[in-house]
Every structure is written in structure tokens, then in C-alpha cells.
Structure 1
Amino acid sequence: MKLFSVLALLLLGLTGNIARAADAWPSKPIRFVVAAPAGSSLDIIARTVGDKLKDRLNQAVIVENVPGAFGTIATAQVARAAPDGYTMLLSFNGPLAFIQFMTKLPYDPQRDLQPVMIASSQPNILAVNADLPVRTLKDLITHANANPGKLNYASVGNGSSSHLTMELFKSMTGTYLVHIPYNGAPPAAASVVAGDTQLLFSVPTVVLPHVRSGKVKALAVTSRTRFSLLPDIPTMAEAGMPAFESLAWNGVLVPARTPPDVVKRLNAELNAIIQMADVKARLNNAGLEPVGGTPEAFKKLIDEEAAKWEPVIRKTKAKLD
């Protein structure tokens, strides 16, 4: 009985210490790990948000870029970090929703990470070389089916979102397109401009300058509704493929078992920040549309995207480079 009483007191003390630590949060600088290099769209989000967050929390927010291995290095670092609210992650759909189906990861996205908030979401643009004799999505499908194996499509690498999005397109249209992977989005887009490849799915930030210069044609965006930053480009649904959707999204996460009060506070602060006019303007200028929402909504997105892309990956046997 005495032993039970001692253990109960120890447990009560430990619980009290955890609660006091959560109440005192934050009492030291916060590390904000970004699963992308400096200058990337994720880096823009992290530095814009981090600068506002430090003022709202009265603590330094240190942005640390950890690129490599399709974002899995940074994501793994945070998954293994102490769940004390002093390590945050900004990661994207690959390391969170589908790369686990292509290779063995040192973390489990659903088990080891706690979603906080969706930061931004954007569609891909289906872009084709300006000289390709098509004007619409239906033209492209007809042309591709009449010329099986003669059209090359670029991607930012094996297992990337741009690769899987085109494989989804192929599976839904029965087209035979040859995959040419590149090491990153700029060279992939440049290959379409040059005519070395004829088409690709790309995030707006990369391909828009080429669309505006007339070097490539934008046929459709891959969101269910028109992208607010590109209102003149039809959706895949409007262009003839109503079931097609593929979004490039990202969000803030913390290690699993981070105190719920910390997660709640972070969610509230981040949602307030991305609604600020100057933050919206900066993200919009980078081709990004802020989203926000609850941790539950972010978890639902991750789970749904994993369920959606797993069969596509199994069918295509996509692997990481």
C-alpha cells in the first residue's frame, strides 16, 4: 500500500511538472525545420511565418533548412525530436503521404508526427510545349492516343509529385507517355520549353513565367475549383476529367506526444498569422495560397492522400532516385 502511495505521488508530481512545462511554453527559442532548401517556396513560408511567430510568442524562431532525400531527412529529424514544443517542421505531401510506399523510412508519418496546420496548397499546372499541336486537354488526350510512345513528359524526379500526377493522368486516360525524370523543377520545365520533352505537371511558381512568355501553353490546373491566383486557366474537371485532382500542399507539424495545449496554441497563432494581409500578399506573390484550419483537418488530408496515392504507386512501381 505504501509502495502504491509513493508511485501515485511520483506520477502526480510528473504530471504536474509536464503541465507546468506546457503552461510556461515557450521559455526558449523554437527550432523551425524546413524540408527544402533556402529560397524555395517552403522556405518563403517558414521565414514569413516564423518572423511573425517570434513576435507573437516573444521567443526566437530559428528557421533551419534541411533539404535532401525528398524531404525525408528533415521530416525524420523532427519525428525523432523531443515532444516539448521546441521543434517544429514545415514539410510537404511527399514525406507525409506517399514516399513511405516507395522506400523504407526511418519514421512513420501517421505515428511519429502530430499535424498542427495546413500552411498552403496549390494545384499543378498541366503545361505543354508551345509547338505541340494541341489547344485543350481533350486535344492532348486525342493527340497522345494517336501517337503512343512518341510524347515525352518531364518530372522533377522519380517518385515526385509531378511524376505521380502524370502517372495518374496516364492511368485515367489510357495514354502511353514516356517519362523523362530531371533533377528538380527548373530543368524539367526548361526541357518542355526547349522541346526535349513535350509536357509536364508543375507547380505554378516554376512554370508560370514560361506560360506568360508564350513558351509553353497551360491547359488546366489540377484543383477541383479554379486556382484563385490563376483564374483564367480551367480545372481538369472543366476540361473533361471530373475525377482528377492532385494538389501540392504543405503544413506545420510537431513530434507526436507534444502537449495538446502547445499544439492548440501553435495552431491558433499560425492561423492568425496566415490571415494577415502582408503575409497573404507575400505568399500570393510566390504563387502560394494560404489555407489554415485545424490539426484534425490536416491529419484527415494526410490520411486521405496516403490512401489515394498508394494504389497509383503500387501500379506504377515508382521508386525514389
Structure 2
Amino acid sequence: MKRIRLALAATLLATLPALAQDWPNKPVKMIVPFPPGGGTDTVARPLAQKLSTILGQQVVIDNRGGAGGTIGAAVVAKSPPDGYTVLLYSVHGAVAAAAYKNLSYDLEKDLVPVTTAAIFPDVLVAANRVPAKTLPELIAFAKANPGKINCGSAGNGTSRHLSCEMFAAAAGFKATHVPYKGTGPATAALVAGEIDYIFEALGSAAGQIRGGTVRPIVVTSAKRSPSFPEIPTAMESGMPGFEVTSWYGLWVPAGTPKPIIDKLRAAVVKAFEDPDLKETWFKLGAEPGGSTPEEFRSLISRDIAKWGKVVRDSNITIE
């Protein structure tokens, strides 16, 4: 039996180079672990379109929302490592690795990072009905209405959820967290005035900000965004040290041949040479991706440690 297993393993190893050389020879499924219309979709759809052209095969978006993105991530973690199932996940993946007690996969063992796709500053946006235009005014409004303020998010255990907790704790007031099944539903609730404010990647909030359906209060990056220079930072608005950025990236199942990973990363780098995609990212307030797998892995590890501390300090546990 051992001899048979060794023979099968040897056969598989022998065929991997040929599989990688031929990749892709059919459509590639890109799983987006959130509902349509959110920040991840904002990144995934234009990138998938460019990758389809570069790779010569269609990259098909498959939205698998729920549980802070962990349902879709689990699907990819358990998929064949052949390069035909790709995950486009976000910083929420690092948060989930820190916050969820019983994940069915290990982000750092069952999935292999390929490259970043975009890096955004986050932005705090309020409902237009909220009588606050600045961060001090929002904090004053929250303190004047104890027990009545709520902060929406893309779901329990996401970075937006933890940003809600961090902000209220740093500002010294209580806010009720209202989880949704993704950024799209949370943003719709904000526009409708059902919640008071949310934290979101600047890219997914850009359309609503420009359209005037929500009110930007601050960005949570160290510097103002070149795309929205009129929005002040949290630091310059009286909250030093409050810095949160969002990133999006690509993963494949563990065991995917390195030549396939290299081809996919090279395609992403080439996509960002396109002036149209660069302009799209600029309008979203994003920096293009294209990091090496090693750089991306380091970023993931740092954020798991960072958000793990927030989870522990906030006593958040998610089953």
C-alpha cells in the first residue's frame, strides 16, 4: 500500500509542471466572499475583466457571502489546488483569523497568498440625517445620545466591526454594533438612515460620497487621500494614533503549483500597467496591488497580530 501511495505521489508530482504550463485552459472562478455591491466587488470586477484578457480565459466572479467572508474562504481552502479556484478576500480575512474560534480552515496554512490587489484608506461616513460634519461633532452627538447611537458593519468579526469598537472606546461613548451580510447592505442601510455611521474602504464609499448620499467625516489613513483631499484624517481631527487601512488580495488553495501562482501574480502586475485600470483605482482612492507572495504573507501576519490584540482588548469572540 505504501508503495502504491508513493507511486501515486510521484505521478502527481510529474504531472504538475505540465498542468502549470497549460494553465489556464478553461475559465477561472474568482470567489468573492461577500454579496454583490460591496467593496470587494468594487475591486474584483474590474480586475477580473483585465485578467480575463491577459490570461486568455474568462475569470468568472462567484459571490459567496456570509460570516464575515469566511464561508467563501472555506470554499476555496477546500478546492482542488489546480489554479481554477481563486479567492479575492480582504483584510477581513486577517480579522477573522483572529476573531473566529472555530474556523474550518487556517488562513496561513490552507490558503496561499498570491499578491495584493488594492490598498485603501478607510473612511468614516455618517448618515445625512446625523447632525455632524466633523469628528468632534460626531463624538459630541454620540455622547449627547447615550444608548441611541449605532455603527453598522459588513458583518461580525470584520475589520469594520472592530473599527466600530475601537472608535467608540477611544472616543469614550457606547455604540450598538449592527452587523450586515456585507458592505452593500450596510451602505444601503446607511443611505436609508437606518444606522448612524459605518467605517468603509474609501473605494466602496466613493460613489456615495460623490453622490452626496452619505457624509464623509474622516479618513483613517496617516495622510489624506489624493483622490479625496478635502476629507481630513482622524489624526488631524483630534484622534491621534487611530489608523486603519484596508487591503484586498488573491489567494489560492495550498498545494497550488508555484508556476501557476507566479503566472497569476504576473497577470495582476500586468493588469496594473493598463492606464484605464490605474485611473479606476485612483478614482476609488486606492493604491494598485502587485506585491510578491512573500510581501503579502508578511502583511497578513502583521494584521492578524494587530487585529488579534483588538479582539482581545474588546473581549470579542465569534463562534
- CA drift of 1:14 comes to 5.4
Residue 279 of structure 1 corresponds to 277
Q: C-alpha separation between the residues in 1 aligned to 2:76 and 2:184?
A: 28
The correspondence for 1:121, drawn from 108, 119, 122, is 119
The correspondence for 2:90, drawn from 89, 92, 96, is 92
- CA drift of 1:300 comes to 1.6
Residue 51 of structure 1 corresponds to 49
Q: Which moved more, 1:11-20 or 1:30-39?
A: 11-20
Q: In structure 2, give the amino acid aligned to 1:274.
A: F
Q: C-alpha separation between the residues in 1 aligned to 2:97 and 2:49?
A: 30
Q: Which moved more, 1:139-148 or 1:115-124?
A: 139-148
Residue 233 of structure 2 corresponds to 235
The correspondence for 1:168, drawn from 166, 169, 172, is 166
Q: In structure 2, give the amino acid aligned to 1:45.
A: V
* Cα-to-partner distance string for 1:200-230 (whole Å, 9 max, x where unaligned): 3233456555545656542210122222321
Q: Which moved more, 1:259-268 or 1:45-54?
A: 45-54
Q: In structure 1, give the amino acid aligned to 2:258.
A: P
Residue 300 of structure 1 corresponds to 298
Aligned pairs for 1:32-181 (under 5 A) are 32-98=30-96, 100-130=98-128, 132=130, 134-142=132-140, 144-145=142-143, 148-181=146-179
Whether contact under 8 Å (2:65, 2:72) holds in the other structure is: yes
* Cα-to-partner distance string for 1:83-128 (whole Å, 9 max, x where unaligned): 2222211112223432552341111101111111111122332233
The correspondence for 1:259, drawn from 257, 260, 263, is 257
Q: C-alpha separation between the residues in 2 aligned to 1:81 and 1:197?
A: 37
Greater radius of gyration (CA): 1
Whether contact under 8 Å (2:68, 2:96) holds in the other structure is: no
Whether contact under 8 Å (1:97, 1:303) holds in the other structure is: no
Gaps of 5+ in 2: none
Where 1:172 maps in the other structure, the secondary structure is helix
TM-score w.r.t. length of structure 2: 0.82
Residue 224 of structure 1 corresponds to 222
Whether contact under 8 Å (1:71, 1:91) holds in the other structure is: yes
Residue 269 of structure 1 corresponds to 267
Whether contact under 8 Å (1:189, 1:206) holds in the other structure is: no
Q: C-alpha separation between the residues in 1 aligned to 2:285 and 2:158?
A: 19
Question: Structure 1 residues 248 and 10 mapped into 2: Cα distance closer, same or farther (>3 Å)?
Answer: closer
Q: C-alpha separation between the residues in 1 aligned to 2:185 and 2:50?
A: 34
Question: Structure 1 residues 70 and 131 mapped into 2: Cα distance closer, same or farther (>3 Å)?
Answer: closer
- CA drift of 1:286 comes to 5.5
Q: In structure 2, give the amino acid aligned to 1:97.
A: V
* Cα-to-partner distance string for 1:225-254 (whole Å, 9 max, x where unaligned): 222321211111222223212223211111
Q: Which moved more, 1:87-96 or 1:9-18?
A: 9-18
The correspondence for 1:31, drawn from 29, 32, 41, is 29
- CA drift of 1:13 comes to 6.2
Q: Which moved more, 1:124-133 or 1:208-217?
A: 208-217
Gaps of 5+ in 1: none
Whether contact under 8 Å (2:27, 2:60) holds in the other structure is: yes
Question: Structure 1 residues 79 and 131 mapped into 2: Cα distance closer, same or farther (>3 Å)?
Answer: closer
Q: C-alpha separation between the residues in 2 aligned to 1:38 and 1:192?
A: 17
Q: C-alpha separation between the residues in 1 aligned to 2:153 and 2:237?
A: 22
Whether contact under 8 Å (1:44, 1:283) holds in the other structure is: no
Question: Structure 1 residues 243 and 280 mapped into 2: Cα distance closer, same or farther (>3 Å)?
Answer: same
Q: Which moved more, 1:242-251 or 1:38-47?
A: 38-47
Aligned length: 318
